[in-house]
Structures are given as structure tokens and as C-alpha cells.
Structure 1
Amino acid sequence: MGRLSRRFCLAVGVSLSLLAMTQGQAKTVKLSPDQLKAVAIQDLQLGQPERALRYSDALLKRDDQDVMSHLIRARALRDLQQFGTARTSAKTAWSLSETKAELYSSSRTMAQILSSQGHRTRAQWWLRRAVEHAPDERATQQAIGDFRYVKARNPWLARISFSITPDSNINNGSSERSSFLNYRLSEIIAGQPVDYQLPGTARALSGIEYSLGLTTRYRFSETPTQAHDIIFTADVRHYTLSSSAKALAPNAEGNDFAFASYTLGYGHKRINLDRRGEFRTVFDIGQSWYGGDEYARFARLSLGQSYKLQSGNRVNLRVSGEKQDGITRSDSDTVRTDFSYTHRLQSGALLWTNVTGAFATSPLALDEFHELGLRAQLTLPKKVAGATMHLGLWARKRNYDFSPHHRDGRREDRVQADLTMVFNKVDYYGFNPTMRVTASKTDSNISLYDAKRFGVNFGIQSAF
């Protein structure tokens, strides 16, 4: 944490007495409040909090509305490990603060007290306040540096995301009006495949998605090369239907498509390969709900290894497996492998590429599949309209060997493009607004699974 800045020592003028010894005789020296505050701050810097506390008490007897005197007192009490009264003084200073400089100094002082007491998560919130009220860029960077320092030493880490997304297909329904369904039954009844009209809930329904995500971890053990974490995640999504969707499916409600998933797990990270690599293990268990009903329980294991090349580029390999115990769907086992490469281009742009392969087995044949996917994301080196811009492309081919709707099984080709903008110049308490535009299309040999989707996501993310 930084020291109290001398520039906050300007205050109302009154005179107080300081007793000094000169040539063996007592002598009274007249000091103004500004001078006495400067002496008190110097005492704090020299490790004399008792004396600084006495001076601050004397200053407050003359003017109990003086912000700087309360801050000196709070800092002295913190150094004396009297954290409760130190917080009280810092809160008083905050409540009396009027200028940005006073609000900034009060916030940093409170954060320092909380961090010293071990309340680092609360300290991070007060440092966000300091960033919000920083009087200049130098002060902003000081508060951000303090935030990162506290964050690195906080065993608790939480990431919260919230977004609102107008979406053309909230239920992942078909973009077609009709489809050939159950070719065997159709041949028995009609002697040939029959094109059935799809019900409203099977077709694409537009609406708005409200999404809330939480990831929090507690680091219960850490060394310079290893870390052990307990991790909890939550993903909750609710929907409202548009008027056109209600006309298409009058009996449907947005809550019919609501989704929620909660997981609890263990994570381990270890630095290896001459400190160029990092090995990661994550194991978690969880449960999901769909439409308000239990959907599935699952257990997942993920192993990953990253490595930083001499060029500064990074490669990453991950292998994961998931065992799903279906409640309203079938059981399944899925294995997935990902390989990614991150490369800094000569222009300064950052290119991330990924190839993934997966296969799933299940007692229900129509849920077994194998897939191959390719992804790429380009982060532009310069801001566009004051925003950091990310451009993404994704293509996936998935095949199901069996389908009741087609003799050759089910084939799906999906492509997606997205554009994400992070508005760095718009900052509130260290959070930036984001906008993400996504368009995707799924082509299948069974029109039931043909889908088009377009969405605009508005969210927030931490700036540091």
C-alpha cells in the first residue's frame, strides 16, 4: 500500500503548540495545523505511530471535521494494529470527504486497514472506489497497482458476469417450418418419408436472455511453484419471449427454456519445464436444471499443459472427460481434446487458434457423436472507437451415426462469427461495458436441426 501523500496536508489554519527541547531547556514552538500534520505524517513514515496518534487527536480536538486529521489517526491506529478503531476513523474521513482527492485518500486508507486485517476482498472493493475517485492518472495507476497487489495475495477470487442478450433463437429451435421425422414410421404408414409441420416450440423463438455467471475460488495452499484451489461456479440464464415468439408458440413461456448449472470442484496448478510451462488439473461435480426441472448430474476431469516458447508465443494442450448421469436426458460419457496456439503478429495483433476433437458414447445410440472443431480469434492492436476489438470465427462438424429421422444418421455443420468490443474508456468502479455480436448457422441433413441464430450481448467486465 502507498503512503499518505503530503499533498493532502492542506487544511484550515489554527495554531497549536509543540513542546521541544533546545539546549536542555523546554521551549514552546508554534506550529500551524498544516505543519503539525506534516510532522505527524513524517512520524508515520519513521515508524512512530504513537506520536502521530497524539498529534491527530490534538488536531481533531480543534476541528473534528478535518478529513486529513482523521486519515492520520486511521493510519496510526492501523500501524498499532487497532483495526476496529482505525476503520471507524477511516469511515469518518470517507463520510466527511467532498473532493475527489479526499475520497481517493479515504478509500485507499480504508483498503490498507482492511488488507492489514486480512479482509482482502473488502479491501479490493475500497480500492475500486479509489480508482473511481482518483484525481489524476498517476493516482489511478497507484490504486490499480494496490488492487493487483492485494488481489495476488487474496486466497479468495471471484469473477461475476452479467449480460442481457436480445437473441433470435433462445431455444435453439429449427429455422425450418417442417421436417421429415421418423422415417421408419413414415414408411410404414405412408410408404415414404412424410414432411411434418413442426410445432411452435420446435422452431426458433426470439426473445431476450438474462445471464448471470459466478466463479469463485479459495486457494487453501500455495507455494512459489504450486497452488491448490476449491472452485465453485454458477451459470444461470432466464428468458423472456418476444411477441412474435408468443404468436408462434402461444402456450410457451420464457421460463420453459431457463437453464441453471452449479459446480463444486478442486483445482491444482504447478509451474514446470524450467518455469516456462504450467500443468493444470481440475476435477468438479455438478448438476444442471432446464425449464425448472432437474436435467443432469455430471462429473468432469480436465488435465492441461501450457508452454511459453522462446519466441514468446504460447501453446496449450488440454484433455478432458465428462460423465453425465441424465435425469431428463440420457446418460453419456464425453472425451474432448483441445490444442491451442497464441501468436503475436508483427502488426501487434494477437492471434489465438484452436483445434478440438471430441466423441461421446451413450446407452442411447442417437446421443452418440464425434466432432471436429476449429476456432480463431484476432485481437486488434489498436482501439477502434475507443474500444478493444476481438474478431472470432468458429467451425464445427459433428456426426451422429444413428438418427430415427434419417437412414444415414445425423450430420451437422456449424459456423459462427462474432465481434466483441470492450469499451475501455468507459469505466465505472473499474468495470468496462462490453458488446458482443454473434451470428451462427447450423446446416443438417435433417431440417429439424437446421438453425440460424443472431444475438447482441451487452455485459460488463473488470478492467483490471
Structure 2
Amino acid sequence: MALQDGLRSVLTQAPRRHGSGAGALPRRAGRLRGALRGALRGALRVMALAGLGLLGAAGPLVLPQAAQAETRVSVESARDMAGLLLQQKRPREALLLAEGILKGLPDDVPALVLKSRALRDMGRFGEADAVAAQARGAAGTDKDRFFAALVTAQAKASDGRKGIAQYWLRRAAEVAPTEGMRAMAVRDFRFVRSSTPWRLKLNLFAEPSDNLNAAPKTNEFSFAGLTFVNPAAVPLSGLRYGGDARFTYRIATGARARITLGATGGIERVRFSASARDRVPWIDDADFRRDRLGFSVGYERMGAQKDWLAHAQLSVSRYWGGGHHISDAARLDLGYSRRLAEGWTGALRLALEDETRKDASLRSAQTGEVGLTLARHFDKSAVSLSLSAADVHSDSRLVARRSQRAAVKYAMTRPVMGLLPSLTLSYEAVDYEQSPFAWWVDPRRDEEWGLSVDVLLPKMDYLGFAPEVGVSFRDRSSNYSLYETQGADLRLGLKSVF
């Protein structure tokens, strides 16, 4: 009787949309049979489940109280009660209420969402996933689709399938009818991703170019009083396209340290235009194909206040060109970044690489690099300055060189008219140890300027991936005209916005 009295005190307070008699659901619309397990302590306030925003047709749900009497409650109030029970960590009682609604309204999406959530809270992940699938099938509005996708992700994440859970959270963000709901899905996505030991990053690109083959500005050059002409050394237009993927698995070794295992792969293809084939009929797309595969192991450690991060990584890579094995490389990267002051960060990086060429052993090389980056973060933008230097040792006069590079980047961190633009200006000077022709003439020196503009379109995203459009210009001068070149590329790609 205590259970019946407690339940009655709640049901008599349940609001009805159309007065005491309007909109009554026939008795066959649904009955919740049996007693709720566990006594309801005190009167439960009727309220919506925060974060679920349940919808549906209102109508009374018939609940048995005694052999001679019945109490009716609207479907919407029953949903509210189930939601409140879930908030109070009482999934069994919430499950009974949701099943009572579904007896009369088997395709009621809010009730299916409630049932899935209750099953998940009870540890019945497979059943929760199956009910979430029912909700997805019955969903007829974006709001219903949002919550169906959300509970699908919750069931899968709780069952240890965090990768596919991230997909469903992206799906929830895609169909979210309000910015608040989208923010909820993005927040949950980031939480699941942070607790997932592995990550997969994909990058696809297409780059129309007016100089795919990096040809010099002129195909004539002189040496020792003689003039040489290379008929194939002319700029050829076309399309460069491909993609790369990076898989990383993280193993925590402490509260602020972890080991990372990685695998990377990439492909690059070209397709020359009809005009390029008219200029050089024997040009072959396959000769310009590029492929790479790599594996890495690393270690990362973060400061107690999250104000610095140090990492070390050893990687091995293999490269192919034109379908042939070109080289193998082993590389060691060391890095340290730190918050210097409010809005300021700095990073230092060192690298050593040993490359063994398979096509021409003379061109094998050992490279040392050092780099420094200083960044200033503002409220809606960021600017950074990067400086780097490299020293390449090789027995080949075409490879041995020293270089210095500087780049300034300005990027918006908040959308401006729905756009996230960035601008990068770079300069690089390269001094080769010898001339490409003979030891008694001046060594080769190149200088190259570059300018690139990239624009991310976050409002045009699909499943959290937005198109990115970029254009870049480069101009390289040299004391040997054979190496002077210039060109413009248009880049089209996809980038995750969360």
C-alpha cells in the first residue's frame, strides 16, 4: 500500500494538456502491469529529463492500483517520470515505465530512447543497442534522429566500441536541430575520443596545378659556352590527388605520460591535362606516382599543470616513386613545447634522419634539423613565427646542402562570416656544397618565396568534416637557371571541425 500511495501522490499531480477528460487514450493504448520495484520515496516532481527533450503525443497511460480502481497518467507525464528516475539512477523503474508506454505506442521514439538508456545503465548493452536501432528506424524528425543517434553512441561506447560510437556522435551533431544539441554531441564526441586509446586520422586532397612536374622557368641553360635544351622541362598542368592516413595507439604509463605506437601511409597520383600531353606526348602519369608507408614508436610526457609537453619519436619509412622502391629512412624526432605566458606558447624541435637511397646509392643522406616556433593566441585569432635550419650530408653534389627557413602564419580561430581563413608567408634559402656541374664553378644557391591562403568552411560540414580550399604560390630563383621555377596550386580537401 505504501507503494500505491506514493505512486498515487505523483500521478494526481501530473499535468494534462487538455483538462481532465480531453485527449484520453483508450485503455487498449497501453497498460503498465505489475508493481514498480522499490518504493517511491515521497512525491516525485514531474519534470523533463535534462538532455533528452522528449517529444510525442500526449494521452493517458493506464496504471493498475487495485482490483477495483485504476489511475490514468498522460504519456508525456510517464516519459517525464521515467526521465526523472534515470536521473536518480533508478533504471529498473524507468524501464518499466518506458515499456508501459511502448505497449500502446510501440514506435514512440522518446520511450524507445528512454528504454535504451535504462538498459544501458543496467549493463545490458546489446539490448540497449537493439532498442536504439528501433528508435532510429522510427524517428521522423531531426530531434528524434538526434536522440536516437545519441543513445546509439552511448550504448556502443559503454560496450567498448568507442570507434563506432564516435561515428554516431558525428551523426548526432549532423542532424541536431539546435546549436545547443550540436554542442552536446560535440562535447560527448570529444570525451569519447579522449578516452579511446586509438585514433585514425584521414586526409584527402586534390590539387589542380599549372606546374605538376616542377619544371624550370626556362628549358634552356648554358654551361661552358654551350646551350642545352630539354624539351620535357616545361611546366605541365594537371591534377595532383591522393590521401594519407595515420593510425595511433596510446598506452598510458602514468597520469601524465604515455607510449604511442603509430602507422602511416599515403598515396599521391597525377593526371596531366590534354594541353600538357599536346606539349609532351610521351609524358606518363605513372612516372609521377608516389607512395609511402611508415611505422613509429614514441613517448610523451605532460607537466603537472599541463603547461608543457615533451615527446620523442623513432620512425621508419619506405618510399616508392613511379612504382619503384626509391628509399628507406629512419628518423628520430625530439620536441618540447611550453606555455610561456598568458596567450604565448613556444616549441623547440630537433630531428635526425638517415636515408638510404635504393635507386642511386650515391644520393643517400644524413640530415640534422632544428626548429623553433613562437605563437601568440588572441581572442579570435593566432599568429606564429617558425624558424628552422637543416644540414644535409651526402656524397652527391645534387643533395648535400644547408638550408634556413622562416614562416609567418596568421589564422582566425573563430569563424568570420562562416569562414576560418589562414595566411602563411614563407622564405627559404638553400646553399649546396657544390655546383651541379663541376667543382671549379660556383656552388648552387636557391631562394624561394611562398604564399598560401587556406579557407575552412565549417558551416558546410558533413558528419563533422568540412571542405577546405587553399591556393598557394611559389617562386624559386637560383644562380643556375635550370633550377628556377614558379607555380600556383589550388588545394581542395576535407578537415575535421571537432
| Same-fold call, TM cutoff 0.5 | yes
Paired position in structure 1 for 2:339: 308
State how far apart, in whole Å, the 2-side matches of 1:321 and 1:273 are. Answer: 29
> Structure 1: which amino acid aligns with 2:115?
R
Whether 1:132 and 2:174 are equivalent positions in the alignment is yes
Structure showing greater relative contact order (alpha-carbon pairs closer than 8 Å, 6 or more residues apart): 1
Structure 1, residues 380-400: CA drift from partner, whole Å, max 9, x if none?
Answer: 477554311111111111111
Give the 3-state SS of the residue equivalent to 1:309 in structure 2: strand
| Secondary structure, counterpart of 2:235 in structure 1 | coil
3-state SS of paired residue (1:204): coil
2:472 to 414, 433, 438: 438
**Highest Rg: 1 or 2?**
2
C-alpha distance 425-6 of structure 1, shift in aligned 2 (>3 A): closer
Residue type of the alignment partner of 2:171: R
Q: CA distance change for structure 1 residues 388 and 5 in 2, over 3 Å: closer, same or farther?
A: closer
RMSD of aligned alpha carbons: 2.2
In the aligned structure 2, how far is the partner of 1:352 from the partner of 1:115?
38
The question of whether the paired residues in 2 share the 8 Å contact of 1:401 and 1:408 is answered with: no
State the alpha-carbon separation in 1 of the partners of residues 144 and 305 from structure 2.
47
Q: Give a deviation string over 1:421-443, Cα, whole Å, max 9, x none.
A: 11122222112211111000111
**Structure 1 counterpart SS, 2:459:** coil
Spell out the pairing of 1:349-368 with structure 2 (5 A cutoff).
349-368=381-400
User: Residues 240-283 of structure 1, C-alpha deviation per residue, up to 9 Å, x if partnerless?
Assistant: 00112112221112221111111110121112486422111111
Code of the residue aligned with 1:391 in structure 2: it is L
Structure-2 separation of matches of 1:156 and 1:5? 28
2:441 matched to 1:395?
A: no
Equivalents in 2 of 1:395, 1:159: separation in Å?
A: 29
1:52-451 to 2 correspondences below 5 Å? 52-180=94-222, 183=223, 192-200=224-232, 202-272=233-303, 275-329=306-360, 330-344=363-377, 349-380=381-412, 383-405=415-437, 407-451=441-485
1:277, 1:38 → 2: CA distance? Answer: 47
The alignment of Structure 1 onto Structure 2 pairs a total of residues equal to: 447
User: Does the CA-based 8 Å contact 2:209-2:240 persist in structure 1?
Assistant: yes
**Which residue identity lines up with residue 435 of structure 2 in the other structure?**
S
What amino acid does structure 2 have at the position aligned with 1:193? G
> In structure 2, what residue type is equivalent to 1:289?
W
Alignment equivalent of 1:10, drawn from 56, 60, 66:
56
Structure 2: which amino acid aligns with 1:172? A
Q: TM-score, normalised by structure 1?
A: 0.91
Partner of 2:486: 452
The aligned counterpart of 2:37 is: none
For residue 81 of structure 1, give the secondary structure of its aligned residue in structure 2: coil
Query: When the two structures are superposed, what TM-score results if normalisation uses the length of structure 2?
Result: 0.85
Task: Kindly provide the amino acid, as one letter, of the partner of residue 405 in structure 1.
Answer: F
Cα 1:18/1:342, change in 2 over 3 Å: farther
Query: In the alignment, does 2:37 pair up with 1:37?
Result: no
1:14 positional shift: 5.2
Note the C-alpha offset of 1:446: 1.8
Q: Percent identity?
A: 25
Quick one: distance in 2 between partners of 1:364 and 1:56? 76
| Inter-partner Cα distance in structure 2 for 1:27 and 1:69 | 26
Kept in 1: contact 2:299–2:313 (CA 8 A): yes
Worse overlay, 154-163 or 217-226: 217-226
Does the C-alpha gap of structure 1 residues 349 and 135 become closer, same or farther in structure 2, counting only changes over 3 Å? closer
Distance 2:327 2:225 in 1: 33
